[in-house]
């Protein structure tokens, strides 16, 4: 939080948004029991999401997607990352688990 003060340098609206968003994410992580569980047949896309999330975001920044707004950037990076994570699970990870 202290780092955010130095980053925003007096922009109170951005600072309050950042603080509120951080608190919301923490609350969501601690109280996520109400979220629906994914079916087991979908597999485990978590590693693919971890692996491809940052490169997808960097490519979108390179191609100028943030100009369209934060919402479009988050939506497009999430959709592309989940598509790559699903492909990674079904084409690489799941077949590799049969070898163990």
pLDDT band at 32 (very low <50, low <70, confident <90, very high): confident
pLDDT of residue 92: 92
Instruction: Give the sign of the dihedral formed by CA 25, CA 90, CA 63, CA 50.
Output: positive
Domain boundaries, the chain: 1-35, 37-100
Predicted TM-score (pTM) of the model is 0.66
Q: Give pLDDT tens digits for 49-98.
A: 999 999 999 999 999 999 999 889 999 999 999 999 999 999 999 999 88
Higher pLDDT, 29 or 34: 29
């Amino acid at each position: 939080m202290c780092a955010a003060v130095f980053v925003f340098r007096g922009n109170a609206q951005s600072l309050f948004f950042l603080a509120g968003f951080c608190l919301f994410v923490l609350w969501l992580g601690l109280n996520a029991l109400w979220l629906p569980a994914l079916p087991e047949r979908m597999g485990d896309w978590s590693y693919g999401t971890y692996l491809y999330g940052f490169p997808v975001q960097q490519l979108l920044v390179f191609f100028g997607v943030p100009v369209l707004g934060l919402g479009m950037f988050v939506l497009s990076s999430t959709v592309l990352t989940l598509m790559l994570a699903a492909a990674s699970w079904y084409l690489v990870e799941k077949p590799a688990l049969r070898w163990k």
